[in-house]
Chains A and B, each alone.
Chain A
Amino acid sequence: MATIDLGKIKIVWRGTYAGGTAYTPDDAVVLNGTSYICIANTTGNTPPNGTYWNVLAQAGTNGTDVGTTLTTQGDLLYRDGSGLQRLAKGTAGQALLMNTAANAPEWGAGGEKNTPAFDVRPSTGQAISNNTNTKIVFGTENIDTDGCFANSRFTPTTAGYYQFNAGSGGAAKSGYIALWLKKNGSEDHYFVDSSSHSSSYTEQGTLVLYLNGSGDYVELYINMANGRTLSATQNGSTRFAGYRIIT
């Protein structure tokens, strides 16, 4: 009975390519992660020699072993120009930022804070003479986040816009009362410039000033047509506070 050679009716898997092995069409091998199918009898013609081999499945790009890249609790994984990289964990309070080239993350100082900030009050009663521009003496610091308040003067070391709040009050007093900031010893910025008070009063105000962080300072002044002694109690109504505005 006659026989007909149909050839191989399915791919024959030959495992890893070996130079000394004879291969015939439809044999399949693997070499360096890529699989090939033989298209012509061959011995010693290594894939990807196109006369004898076609690619069955192309090897992919080697990946990174995340399990060995990340080594410490808190590590982060990111990709740079060549592959996955480890960013070692930061320290307490740090925030994740982009580097200056804006192509990789890095740890940096945490979010901006409204500092320097201060809140002060007089530590002793201060007698205010009539009609006299008087620098208010603040001896008690409730808050002084960066040590920028000294000798009744706020000299911040960070440039920016600062919001200031100040107030003073007391029993009824005839005549005007003015309360203002003096910047750098000469520039006046008024919180209050008011007329007579027939009953107890609390004069207070808010304003915003730019300070350059390298020498600019402010002091609080008061002028009363009829002077009095400013209270120095914890709940006394003479207060001075300020903080940097995040812009």
Chain B
Amino acid sequence: MAQYSTKIQEYCKANSVSDVNFRSDVLLQDDGDGVVYIKEWNLDIAQPTSDQIESYETVANETEANAVDVKASAKAKLMAGEALTEDEANVMIGG
């Protein structure tokens, strides 16, 4: 199951918001019961419903799998002394 934040990111991308700051734009919360929900929504686009968020499950899973691949290639390039792509650099710094 994809991360809730990844599904939010995909929803935002689909609505022309390419960068989401989860410390200010969208605050997600888990009260300790493992259930993640939107605590605060500060983007100009509409806050998605639960159904809308869940509709991004598949694409979010693909994104996360791709991120793993990007991380692996970034690691290989670092060890080989080769230049990283922007995506590879981002995934290495958690960007």
Interface residues on B, range: 20 to 34
> With contacts A174-B91, A175-B94, A196-B94 known, is A133 near B30, CB below 8 A?
yes
| Contact residues in A for B56 (Cβ distance below 8 Å) | none
Most chain-B CB neighbours within 10 Å: which of A128, A136, A225?
A225
| Contact residues in A for B22 (Cβ distance below 8 Å) | 131-132, 223, 225
Per DSSP, are chain B's interface residues mostly helix, strand or loop, or mixed? mixed
| Contact residues in A for B32 (Cβ distance below 8 Å) | 126, 134-137, 152
Query: Which chain B residue has the least Cβ–Cβ distance from A220?
Result: B32
Question: B1-9, B11-19, B43-51: which one contacts chain A?
Answer: B1-9
In the bound complex, CA of A132 to CA of B94 (Å): 14
> With contacts A127-B34, A227-B3 known, is A133 near B28, CB below 8 A?
yes
- Is the beta-carbon distance between B5 and A131 smaller than 8 angstroms? yes
Query: Which chain B residue has the least Cβ–Cβ distance from A198?
Result: B92
A176 at the interface (CB under 8 A from B): yes
Per DSSP, are chain A's interface residues mostly helix, strand or loop, or mixed? loop
| Contact residues in B for A227 (Cβ distance below 8 Å) | 3
Instruction: Scan residues 19-76 of chain A and give those whose CB is less than 8 A from a CB of chain B.
Output: none
> With contacts A127-B34, A227-B3 known, is A132 near B28, CB below 8 A?
yes
- Is the beta-carbon distance between B5 and A132 smaller than 8 angstroms? yes
- Is the beta-carbon distance between A130 and B30 smaller than 8 angstroms? no
Query: Which chain A residue has the least Cβ–Cβ distance from B93?
Result: A196
10 A-B pairs with C-beta separation under 8 A? A130-B5, A131-B5, A132-B36, A133-B27, A133-B29, A152-B32, A174-B92, A176-B94, A196-B93, A225-B22
5 more A-B residue pairs beyond the given contacts A135-B32, A174-B92, with a C-beta to C-beta distance below 8 A? A129-B30, A131-B22, A174-B91, A225-B94, A227-B3
Please name the 6 residue pairs, one residue from A and one from B, whose CB atoms are nearest each other, closest first.
Answer: A175-B94, A131-B22, A174-B94, A131-B5, A135-B32, A134-B30
